[in-house]
Amino acid sequence: MKKLFPLELVFLIVVFVLISSFIYTSVMAQGNKLIAQEITISDLVIKEDYEALEVDITIPVIQGLEDKQVEEKINQTIQEDVLDFKYRIQTESEEYLQLAKKEGWEIKNILHLPII
């Protein structure tokens, strides 16, 4: 079973911090004018319950960028990265559950990874 959780989590945090720092202080120059943008960040919440895993994810969704293509690309990148991470954790959790059942191990819910 592949164990890359810490490295992947660090990657997601770095991506989020970089995008957040850009968004919170976003002021774009157009020609000689500076145009301030009112940018908001809302939440996309995913809650799912499986035998091997309980999922509670909050994905930030950016709104209000003047360039809608950039806004869509940022949101798409964040969502794809988080959902890919969720899929890998879910797959490994299912593999662990099957192995634990086969070996007769006591199954404990000990993994809690808050995903921003």
60: CATH: 3.30.565
Q: What is the pLDDT of residue 35?
A: 64
pLDDT digits (tens, 9 = 90+) for 18-44: 666 565 555 444 445 566 778 899 999
Tell me whether residue 115 is in a domain: no
Long-range own/partner contacts, residues 14-20 (CB < 8 A, 24 or more apart):
15/77, 15/78, 15/81, 16/60, 16/78, 16/116, 19/62, 19/74, 19/78, 20/60
Determine, yes or no, domain membership for 97. Answer: yes
Q: Is residue 99 part of a domain?
A: yes
Q: What pLDDT does residue 85 have?
A: 92
User: Residue 62 falls within a domain, yes or no?
Assistant: yes
Tell me which residue range forms the domain holding 79.
5-103
Residue 20 lies in a domain: yes
Residue 110 forms part of a structural domain: no
In whole numbers, what is the pLDDT of the chain averaged over residues? 77
Does any domain span residue 111?
A: no
